Structure 1
Amino acid sequence: MFERILVPTDRSDPARRALEQAADLATRYDATLTALHVVDTRELDGGSGVDERTAAARAELDDALDELAVDPTPEGVVRAGIPNEEILDYADDAGMDLIVMGTHGRTGVRRYLLGSVAEKVVRLSDVPVLNVHPAEVDVGSVPYERILVPTDGSDRASVAVDCATDLATTYGAELHTVSVVDTGAMAPDVQFDVIMDQLQNRARTAVETVAETAREAGVEDTQTAVLEGRAHDAIRSYADDERIDLIVMGTHGRSGLDRYLLGSVAEKLVRTASVPVLTVRMPEE
């Protein structure tokens, strides 16, 4: 599934964690691994200092790859520009099929502010993006032992399910699949109980279908659950309770201005989950 993996790095703790997980994935998938350092030209005074910063970034990147001690040694690339744009352009030009990124842990209102490089890449990337948080010391480590894939039962969700199933097979991991009945989005209704029964039945069918597909693909251990509540909160709580190591989540296929807008369940999980979140873009409807 993954043949060419890109990991942007800046020598921060989140980036080092991302590089470690990218290296493990590259080893298991026999994939090539490229580390990309982008010198942010917005931090420079005009064009001055680009050569010096680029040379320093090259030395730091070489040191990081030497410390990684994997064989073969990943390729290192240094570019100058706006980080999210350079990452996406390089991934497209080089035919990458996975981006692994470190995201900075934030609390309070800062968790909901727009602007991080990782969030922009998640929103705009056409290839899967694995987001790794700096807090993941005892959780979310590799090898992945428990993988979670939420589903809504739609055909579009099958892209994330296929990716999660492949990862579970590769890692020999448990595959957990959940479907959330979003009670927060429901208005009071005289037929509330009937509607809830229908939604729960649909959710049970969705997770059982995923579990059966996974078993047919060779996943030996599957777990299913139907949850209630706000989707991102319910998924995050389940991941914490079940000691999930990786969440694989579909993002809606969007184009134009819609791809820049904030608010999907996947993006909220990228900001708030305590474990890595792999986002897979669903086909546009």
Structure 2
Amino acid sequence: MYDRLLFPTDGSDVASDALEYALDVAATHDATLHVLNVADTTVDSVTNVRGEVVDALEEEGERIVAAVAERASDRNVSVVAEVLQGRPHETIVDYARTSGVDLVVMPTHGRSGIKRYLLGSVTERVVNTSNVPVLTVTPDDDARLTYPPRDVLVPTDGSPGADRAVAEAIALAKETSATLHLLHVMETASLGPDVRSAVKGGELEERGNEILHAAADRARDASVDDVATALASGRAYREILSYVRENDVDVVALGTHGETEFSRYVLGGVSAKLIRTSPVPVLLARQLESDGTNETP
């Protein structure tokens, strides 16, 4: 499933913490780990040393990727190390595309306090623009980082973006023999109590069950036997987090470009909140803009 992983790193503590998880993913799938440090050319990093012009960021980058390569070698994980110049998010996305990467693993740069709710700008931009799925890891003290996963959750609203996430979650559950959890949340929180009661037993519930049944059929057709479905009502991100905690979910898969009236799971809304607050890694699969399908690149 994953033959080439990309782990962009700036050498920070949060990147170092997320590396262990990336190594777990690579070891599980016998994948090559591409380690990339981007020397940000928007920063004036050129200094004169003994009459020679030296790019300090590139020099530091070489030290960073060498340290990661050593840790990967200790885990018997194959490594390709690169230091490139450019704008970080653009360079990461371009490298993933041109190197045939199957998955990008990145930290969210959130820990505790207010920083927990600030999604790293580079990670956010990569998620927004990468056609390659991005697995975000919050290296927090209370984070639960388990790989291979035993339980994979995919919230789905039936949109093309969510459908791609369903496909990614199905493939991951099959590859790791995990239980696949399918969840549909009816967004009724903004409605009055009388209206909520009416719609819960009516059109929204019927549509939600249709979406869940279709996704479950896809999973079973792909030979995923252990499938659980659940229908909930309320605020999507709260219901998703509640389900994660109550069912010991290890990975949440989300689509980031929903297009229909049921499109609740889009970055900037539910996805962004989950990336910032989820106690488990979040796998984001962006709907391809070239043709609007959910075909995996």
Compute the TM-score of the two structures, normalised by the length of structure 2.
0.82
Matches of 1:277 and 1:71, distance apart in 2: 26
Q: In structure 2, what is the equivalent of residue 3 of structure 1?
A: 3
Residue 151 of structure 1 deviates from its aligned partner by 0.6
CA change 1:44–1:253 in 2 (3 A) is: farther
Q: Does 1:59 align with 2:58?
A: no
CA change 1:20–1:154 in 2 (3 A) is: same
CA change 1:209–1:136 in 2 (3 A) is: farther
Q: In structure 1, what is the equivalent of residue 147 of structure 2?
A: 142
Q: In structure 2, what is the equivalent of residue 196 of structure 1?
A: 200
CA change 1:205–1:101 in 2 (3 A) is: same
Correspondence 1:109-128 to 2 at 5 A: 116-128=121-133
Shifted more, 31-40 versus 131-140: the winner is: 131-140
Counterpart residue identity of residue 214, structure 2 = T
Q: In structure 1, what is the equivalent of residue 256 of structure 2?
A: 251
Q: Give RMSD over aligned pairs.
A: 2.7
Aligned residues: 277
CA change 1:114–1:216 in 2 (3 A) is: closer
Contact 1:133 1:275 (C-alpha < 8 Å) held by counterparts = yes
Residue 211 of structure 1 deviates from its aligned partner by 2.4
Residue 190 of structure 1 deviates from its aligned partner by 7.3
Q: Does 1:24 align with 2:24?
A: yes
Matches of 2:225 and 2:103, distance apart in 1: 25
Q: Does 1:169 align with 2:174?
A: yes
Shifted more, 67-76 versus 274-283: the winner is: 67-76
Q: In structure 2, what is the equivalent of residue 78 of structure 1?
A: 83
Q: Does 1:96 align with 2:95?
A: no
Contact 1:140 1:244 (C-alpha < 8 Å) held by counterparts = no
Counterpart residue identity of residue 29, structure 1 = H
Matches of 2:143 and 2:193, distance apart in 1: 44
CA change 1:276–1:35 in 2 (3 A) is: same
Shifted more, 26-35 versus 118-127: the winner is: 26-35
CA change 1:110–1:52 in 2 (3 A) is: closer
CA change 1:200–1:16 in 2 (3 A) is: same
Q: In structure 1, what is the equivalent of residue 38 of structure 2?
A: 38
Q: Which runs of 4+ in 1 moved over 6 A?
A: none
Residue 42 of structure 1 deviates from its aligned partner by 4.0
Q: Does 1:223 align with 2:222?
A: no
Query: Structure 2: which 5+ runs fail to align?
Result: 49-53, 260-265, 293-297
CA change 1:253–1:32 in 2 (3 A) is: farther
Counterpart residue identity of residue 148, structure 1 = L
CA change 1:110–1:64 in 2 (3 A) is: closer
Look up the SS of the partner of 1:63 in the other structure.
helix
Matches of 1:17 and 1:174, distance apart in 2: 26
CA change 1:246–1:57 in 2 (3 A) is: same
Residue 209 of structure 1 deviates from its aligned partner by 2.6
Q: In structure 2, what is the equivalent of residue 160 of structure 1?
A: 165
CA deviations 1:66-110 (Å, max 9, x no partner) are: 122233531111123332122122222323231110111255665
Compute the TM-score of the two structures, normalised by the length of structure 1.
0.85
Query: Structure 1: which 5+ runs fail to align?
Result: 255-260
Shifted more, 102-111 versus 3-12: the winner is: 102-111
Contact 1:253 1:283 (C-alpha < 8 Å) held by counterparts = no
Residue 65 of structure 1 deviates from its aligned partner by 1.6
Counterpart residue identity of residue 271, structure 2 = A
CA change 1:32–1:106 in 2 (3 A) is: closer
Q: In structure 1, what is the equivalent of residue 295 of structure 2?
A: none
Shifted more, 134-143 versus 97-106: the winner is: 134-143
Matches of 1:217 and 1:78, distance apart in 2: 39
Q: In structure 1, what is the equivalent of residue 47 of structure 2?
A: 48
Percentage of pairs with the same residue = 41
Residue 139 of structure 1 deviates from its aligned partner by 1.2
Residue 138 of structure 1 deviates from its aligned partner by 6.0
Look up the SS of the partner of 1:200 in the other structure.
helix
Contact 1:136 1:275 (C-alpha < 8 Å) held by counterparts = no
